[in-house]
Structure formats: C-alpha cells, structure tokens
Amino acid sequence: MKRRSRTTLKLLPLQPLSLTPKVILFDLGGVVVRWVGIQALSDLTGLSTLQVSERFKQSEIGNRFERGHCSNEDFIAEFRNLFDLTGSDAELIKLWNGWVQDPYDGIVETIKNLKTRYRVACLSNTNDLHWEHLKAYLDLDALFDRPYASHKIHRAKPDPDCFEFVIRELNVKPEEIIFLDDSQANIDAALNIGMQAHKVDPTFGAVPTLKSLGLV
C-alpha cells in the first residue's frame, strides 16, 4: 500500500485547555498509526469512500465484529460478500490487515514523554484481526497505561456507553480527559459526555494537535 505523501503542516493554536488534564486518550487509526482502509477499498472496488463506509455501517456482522461478537471467519465471509472480493481467507485477511500501517513519525516517543506527566490510554474501534496486526508495530500494553479496544470492551464509539465505560474504568471526571480522534462523530460524542476533545488531521497524526495544545 502507498503511504500518504508527506505534507508540510502549519500549526494553528487551538482553544486553551479548560482544565488541566489527568488522562490523554488516543484513538489509534488516523491518530497514532496510519490507516488507509476506506480509501484502499474504494480504489480496489471502484466504490466511493461514502459507499464503502455505508456498506460497513449497514452490515450487522461488521458491527458485531467491531464489538467482539463475531468470529474472524464469519467476518471474512461477510467482507468477501459485501464487496464481491475474490481470494482465499488468508489473502483477504492480509488485505484487511494491510490497511493498518506504521505509527506516525515521532508519535511513540511523544506518548512515552506524555506518560511522565499524565496517564495515557487509547480507545479504538477495532477488531481481533487488526488488534493482533497492530502488535507488529506497537507494544500496546507497554505504550499505554490502559489500552481499550472496542472488541474487548464490547462497546464502540460514538455510542455514549463506550465513553462512559472508559470514564468509569479510568476513575476520573470526563473533563479531566483530553480525547484525540480523527472522526468528527466521535469528537462530538466525547464533547457531549464532557471530555475535552480535539479532532486530529489523519494526514499528520496526533503530534501536531498535541503541540497546538501545548502538551508537548
């Protein structure tokens, strides 16, 4: 898969933090690691990115897979049918996992630095296949104080109960959490819960946003 081209980003200051945070909560794809899934499937099938997204949203099995209620085998069968794909299960798993790529430049070192001053966690809408694939790039248990995966907690963003579960687990007030995500729907949901939430540009990942917030 081709990586996104490197582009120069001019940092713009964001709104000042309303409360000194105790926890920095990261999404993963498009924030910590590069994610090319929707665009890659659009390129492969000729569907628009909106059509690809809608097919996934309307798939009962896809939604169950993200929440840990579906086997890998059942999902791959659904994946094949949804997009009229050919190839063996192993080939489709390789295709599926290829959309999760390496970390953005500087993000691992930045998270390690943040851990000296804050608790650091992640909350990712993911699945068993992608979560295992991520281990090729990151030691998630070592990098984050608390790694939360949708298929393990059986909840997914932007559902309020997903955020409420994490708040209870972290035992902090929602306003003491800074949440970074590349999805506006997830940002809006986090703001409604009371978190300090900021949208990340997936071209660059989280580091520019963290710098704009004065956290690094």
Q: 197-216 pLDDT, tens per residue?
A: 999 999 999 999 999 999 99
Is pLDDT at 66 greater than 90 in this prediction? yes
Residue 130 · residue 97 · CB < 8 Å? yes
Residue 23 · residue 179 · CB < 8 Å? no
User: In the chain, what are the domains?
Assistant: 23-34+104-212 (3.40.50.1000), 37-97 (1.10.150)
Q: What is the mean pLDDT of the chain?
A: 92
- Kindly state the DSSP code that residue 29 receives in the 8-state scheme: B
Residues 6+ apart with CB under 8 A from 116: none
Mean pLDDT to the nearest integer, 20-40: 95
Residue 55 · residue 94 · CB < 8 Å? no
Q: pLDDT confidence of 20, banded at 50, 70, 90?
A: confident
* H-run or E-run covering 181: strand 177-181
Predicted confidence at residue 55, as pLDDT, reads 94
Smallest CA-to-CA distance from 191 within 149, 147, 158, 215 is with 158
Residue 154 · residue 69 · CB < 8 Å? yes
Predicted confidence at residue 169, as pLDDT, reads 97
Q: pLDDT confidence of 15, banded at 50, 70, 90?
A: low
Predicted confidence at residue 48, as pLDDT, reads 96
Peptide bond into 16 cis (omega under 30): no
Q: What are the tokens at 90?
A: 């192993």
Predicted confidence at residue 10, as pLDDT, reads 46
